Structure 1
Amino acid sequence: MSYAPPKRLQAAILDWAGTVVDFGSFAPTQIFVEAFAEFGVAVSLAEARGPMGMGKWDHIRTLLNDPAIAARYAVAHGRAASDADVTALYERFMPLQIEKIADHSAVIPGALDAIAALRARGLKIGSCSGYPARVMERVVALAASNGYVADHVVATDEVPNGRPWPAQALANVIALGIDDVAACVKVDDTVPGILEGRKAGMWTVALTCSGNALGLTHDQYLRLPAKRLAAERARIADLFAASKPHFLIDTIADLPGIVADIDGLLAAGRMPQAC
């Protein structure tokens, strides 16, 4: 028996907020701001966006490790934040997130058509998120009511390590019955999500305009002047550069064309690890 590389993609592993739902990725970031405020610590939306893509406990820990936020926490509480404090913030974040998730649950324009096009090419649709399972249950239900149902969902607390570790992406490979990681494409709007795909040996597509990095609503994105949009694309490409995504596109609406390009690369014997 000898190794035969795949000739076509078999699955797309999609992120959720900022990728398929919640244009601008507002649901998680806004709740971080609100949760920290309840603990007497001011955190800006831009600061909250910084570690996006990580599991939420790790996200909070990373924020509290930031010198400026750590100093504010120390002023408010008279000491540095411990892991127990991180857990307390996390436990406050969770019910707030579940309560407010419906406010930012709309499917991103073009997502349903793009996913239908992928299914027509024979791809299975996996998914993963920085949300834990109790939040994902609500996210998945809301998405289904809006017409989106993934073939498999992996929450960050259902694996030993969340993003940027590859465990969630690989859990999808196993559950979907994919026979080669090189036959998968990971699509995400965050650096940890792209690193997850890279470490899993998959093709990777970074979204520059629908997610956390741009941080605008769909209407605000559409109203950006061409010169400003070009500058934002360049800035966001620089943010992603070190994670080495194979492709960058504005939104998931552009994904079917990239999938066709990847199929062409696979047919020519190219592999994601070598690109």
Structure 2
Amino acid sequence: MNPNTPMNIKGIVLDWAGTIVDFGSLAPMGAFVELFARHQIEITIAQARVPMGLPKIDHIVALGSLPAVAQQWRNQYGRSFQFKDAQNLLSEFEPMSAHAAMDRSDFIPGFMAIYRDLAAQGVSFATTTGYTRKIMTPLIERAAEQGFHPALVVCCDDVLRSRPDPMGVLQCLAAMHLTGQSHQVIKVDDTAPGLAEGLAAGCWTVGVAASGNALGWSHAEWLKASAAERMQALVPAVATLQAAGAHEVIDSVADLPMAISRIELRIAQGQNP
């Protein structure tokens, strides 16, 4: 992008885990597996990833509804998994997840430089997340210490209806003074529910394939893999994000300027989100 060229994109709404922190979105996965294991229920990392991006209470409900998990629950407790069980598990999950999130709170490589560059060009930033406010509070403080100051952070329990509902993104638009200008805003996310909230708000959407839940590799695994291994592994991840409606798909937030340039070209050609 030429910093001297006026941009049509005025705002960016970012997700957190898998998008700007926690390469591979690994923190919530381990916490979910441990959470259910504490109650003698075995779930796999693959199962834990399926509902990723939903508010955490909905994520737990979805896990409890998986046939294999539901059967284990009936065998263990003599009854079906209920919403009150999900509420109890969420209370247990929040401190576990907050600890795991802080362990993986480093920004994804390249993010801060891009954030500063775009902010200097007048682009506003806000964020949404499937994490609850209790989980996010220390992570927000850590991010601020590193220089990240979005106009707003909307946690899943800050709004009446979270992802895939657009309510959180609409609050972000208001905080960025871009209400009614969703066609000039990009939602960046690594999950289908996170992309869906951007689409529902009328925003452009950019899916993050390599650093997010769709691939699930750590940064070390990504660096170790050959170009051919990366390309092969990314095929289903990219397909998942495209199927979720992403207008553009990138490897990581470090590639965001390229996606913005492509979206700017689309706008110049008369396209809308």
TM-score bucket of the superposed structures, by smaller chain: over 0.9
CA contact under 8 A between 2:9 and 2:186: conserved in structure 1? yes
The count of aligned residue pairs is 267
Q: Write the mapping of 1:183-262 to structure 2, written as runs, cut at 5 A.
A: 183-262=184-263
1:13 to 2:23 alignment: no
- Larger deviation, residues 49-58 vs 263-272: 263-272
CA distance in 2 between counterparts of 1:270 and 1:122 reads: 23
Tell me the secondary structure at the aligned position of residue 127 of structure 2. strand
CA distance in 2 between counterparts of 1:76 and 1:242 reads: 37
1:268 to 2:269 alignment: yes
CA distance in 1 between counterparts of 2:156 and 2:13 reads: 14
The unaligned stretches of length 5 or more in structure 1 are: 1-5
CA distance in 1 between counterparts of 2:115 and 2:9 reads: 14
**Deviation, structure 1 residue 269:** 2.6
Q: In structure 1, what residue type is equivalent to 2:209?
A: T
The unaligned stretches of length 5 or more in structure 2 are: 1-5
Q: Which residue in 2 is equivalent to 1:33?
A: 33
- Larger deviation, residues 200-209 vs 130-139: 130-139
CA distance in 2 between counterparts of 1:221 and 1:59 reads: 26
Q: Which residue in 1 is equivalent to 2:3?
A: none
Tell me the secondary structure at the aligned position of residue 157 of structure 2. helix
CA distance in 2 between counterparts of 1:101 and 1:121 reads: 30
CA contact under 8 A between 1:204 and 1:245: conserved in structure 2? yes
Q: CA RMSD in A?
A: 1.5
TM-score by length of 1: 0.93
CA distance in 2 between counterparts of 1:146 and 1:75 reads: 47
Q: Which residue in 1 is equivalent to 2:143?
A: 143
CA distance in 2 between counterparts of 1:102 and 1:90 reads: 18
CA distance in 2 between counterparts of 1:233 and 1:120 reads: 32
Q: Which residue in 2 is equivalent to 1:132?
A: 132
**Deviation, structure 1 residue 270:** 1.8
**Deviation, structure 1 residue 7:** 6.8
**Deviation, structure 1 residue 88:** 0.8
TM-score by length of 2: 0.93
Tell me the secondary structure at the aligned position of residue 156 of structure 1. coil
Q: In structure 2, what residue type is equivalent to 1:97?
A: S
CA contact under 8 A between 2:190 and 2:241: conserved in structure 1? no
Q: Write the mapping of 1:93-112 to structure 2, written as runs, cut at 5 A.
A: 93-112=93-112
Q: Which residue in 2 is equivalent to 1:3?
A: none
Q: In structure 1, what residue type is equivalent to 2:195?
A: I
CA distance in 1 between counterparts of 2:102 and 2:243 reads: 34
The percentage of aligned residue pairs carrying the same residue is 36
CA contact under 8 A between 1:7 and 1:269: conserved in structure 2? no
Q: In structure 2, what residue type is equivalent to 1:125?
A: F
1:57 to 2:53 alignment: no
CA distance in 1 between counterparts of 2:172 and 2:38 reads: 36
Question: Are the structure 2 counterparts of residues 258 and 241 from structure 1 closer, same or farther at C-alpha, using a change threshold of 3 Å?
Answer: closer
CA distance in 1 between counterparts of 2:183 and 2:97 reads: 34
